[in-house]
């Protein structure tokens, strides 16, 4: 049996798109697929719930700036490399697919050291540090670097650009054709309720939570507000027409289908799932010293495409949020135009395109390198 390894983690955005690919790979070819992720955190529970074998390794965070934690994390990265190498040598996968995140670097390095083909996927408009490192392993042999946006290839050195395939972002099955009625049933929403869905990602977003809290009284005059708060958001006071959820998992496709408007961060997983569902968005990208600016770049791409409004850093008070929501709530024609633009971005079968690239590489491996 052909074995295929996947790696990535730290957030749902680094796991769910990979799981979408892994499930299709198993269905189409019956290959055995397993996942290498962080031994701590959410990785194991998400992967095992999806029915994949999971192997945990030590994970150290990669930082661009000086931090006292860099020394201890370096030892975790080295320990992760040797742990991943033992797993890969024992399981003998034909290919390793990386979905990014700091946990992905040791498995990619270990796979390269064993002569295993490496594919790495970058979801964001600009490549993160982990992807920049992993491209060194993927650019050798039959490996590839896959990006969501064509412009991302320009961010790599000239010698690597020829190995780049711009194929989009895979999303979990069900987002394109979800039933809004199922979402309304789950939410216990009335047939006439207009729904504003607030998503801060799998971990929530404190800034979004505070914005919603500050504007909640006025927001609920316009919409039934459905809010994925995250596990550590603090308590937002209860209010009529406001429904907080710590996390929405399997029901999310239906809930998203039922929403008229989405207020969210601009992490790659969230915005591409919204695009697959054809939803207009108000984006509040993560900004500041804790980010390289990737979410702002993602948001500007969707704004240029006509699919989103962006609340930029410095313009994120309750008044600005209410103005953006009210503008779209009162302009149905504009919402429909934004929804159409969003759907054009999300209509391609990105997962199928990436799957074909993986299968081509696996077939060449089985045929000794011949097409």
Q: What is the CA radius of gyration of the chain?
A: 21
Residue 108: how many CB atoms within 10 A of its CB? 31
- Mean pLDDT per 10-residue section of the chain, whose length is 371 residues: 92 86 92 94 90 92 58 82 98 96 95 97 92 92 92 91 94 90 96 94 77 95 95 74 92 97 94 97 84 88 97 88 97 98 95 95 74 45
pLDDT of residue 109: 97
Q: Which residue has the tokens 């010293």?
A: 289
Per-residue model confidence as pLDDT tens digits over 314-364? 878 999 999 999 999 999 999 999 999 999 999 999 999 999 999 999 998
Name the CA dihedral angle for 301, 270, 108, 168, rounded to a multiple of 10 degrees. Answer: -50
- CATH of range 180-346; options 3.40.50.2000, 3.20.20.60, 3.90.1150.10, 3.20.20.20: 3.40.50.2000
C-alpha distance from residue 12 to each of 37, 57, 73 (Å): 12, 18, 22
pLDDT of residue 72: 66
- State how far the Cα of 322 lies from the Cα of 308, in Å rounded to an integer: 15
pLDDT of residue 197: 98
pLDDT of residue 369: 54
pLDDT of residue 69: 61
Residues of the chain with CATH 3.40.50.2000: 3-168+349-366, 180-346
C-alpha distance from residue 72 to each of 3, 69, 77, 290 (Å): 33, 6, 9, 20
Residue 37 burial (10 A CB sphere; 0-12, 13-18, 19+)? buried
Which fold would CATH assign to domain 3-168+349-366? Rossmann fold (3.40.50)
Q: Answer yes or no: pTM beyond 0.85.
A: yes
């Amino acid at each position: 049996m052909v074995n295929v390894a996947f790696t990535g983690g730290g957030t749902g955005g680094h796991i769910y798109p990979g799981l979408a690919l892994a499930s299709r790979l198993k269905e189409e070819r019956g290959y055995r697929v397993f996942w290498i992720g962080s031994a701590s955190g959410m990785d194991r529970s998400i992967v095992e719930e999806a029915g994949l074998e999971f192997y945990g390794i030590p994970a150290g965070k990669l930082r661009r700036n000086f931090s006292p934690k860099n020394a201890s994390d370096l030892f975790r990265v080295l320990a992760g490399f040797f742990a991943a190498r033992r797993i890969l040598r024992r399981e003998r996968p034909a290919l390793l697919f990386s979905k990014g995140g700091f946990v992905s670097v040791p498995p990619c390095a270990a796979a390269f050291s064993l002569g295993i083909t490496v594919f790495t996927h970058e979801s964001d408009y600009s490549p993160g540090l982990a992807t920049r490192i992993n491209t060194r392993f993927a650019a050798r042999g039959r490996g590839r670097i896959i990006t969501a946006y064509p412009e991302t290839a320009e961010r790599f050195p000239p010698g690597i650009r020829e190995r780049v395939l711009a194929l989009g972002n895979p999303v979990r099955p069900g987002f394109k054709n979800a039933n809004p009625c199922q979402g309304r049933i789950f939410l216990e929403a009335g047939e006439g309720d207009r729904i504003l869905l607030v998503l801060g990602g799998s971990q929530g977003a404190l800034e979004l939570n505070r914005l919603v809290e500050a504007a909640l009284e006025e927001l609920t005059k316009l919409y039934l507000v459905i809010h994925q708060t995250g596990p550590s958001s603090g308590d937002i006071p209860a209010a009529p027409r406001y429904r907080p959820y710590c996390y929405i998992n399997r029901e999310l496709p239906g809930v998203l289908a039922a929403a008229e408007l989405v207020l969210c961060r601009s992490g790659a997983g969230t915005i591409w799932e919204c695009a697959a569902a054809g939803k207009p968005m108000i984006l509040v990208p993560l900004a500041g010293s804790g980010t390289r600016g990737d979410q702002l770049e993602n948001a500007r791409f969707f704004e240029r495409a006509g699919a989103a409004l962006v609340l930029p850093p410095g313009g994120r008070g309750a008044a600005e949020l209410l103005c953006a929501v009210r503008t779209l709530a009162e302009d149905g024609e504009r919402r429909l135009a934004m929804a159409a633009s969003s759907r054009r971005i999300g209509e391609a079968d990105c997962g199928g395109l990436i799957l074909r690239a993986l299968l081509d590489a696996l077939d060449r491996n089985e045929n000794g390198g011949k097409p």
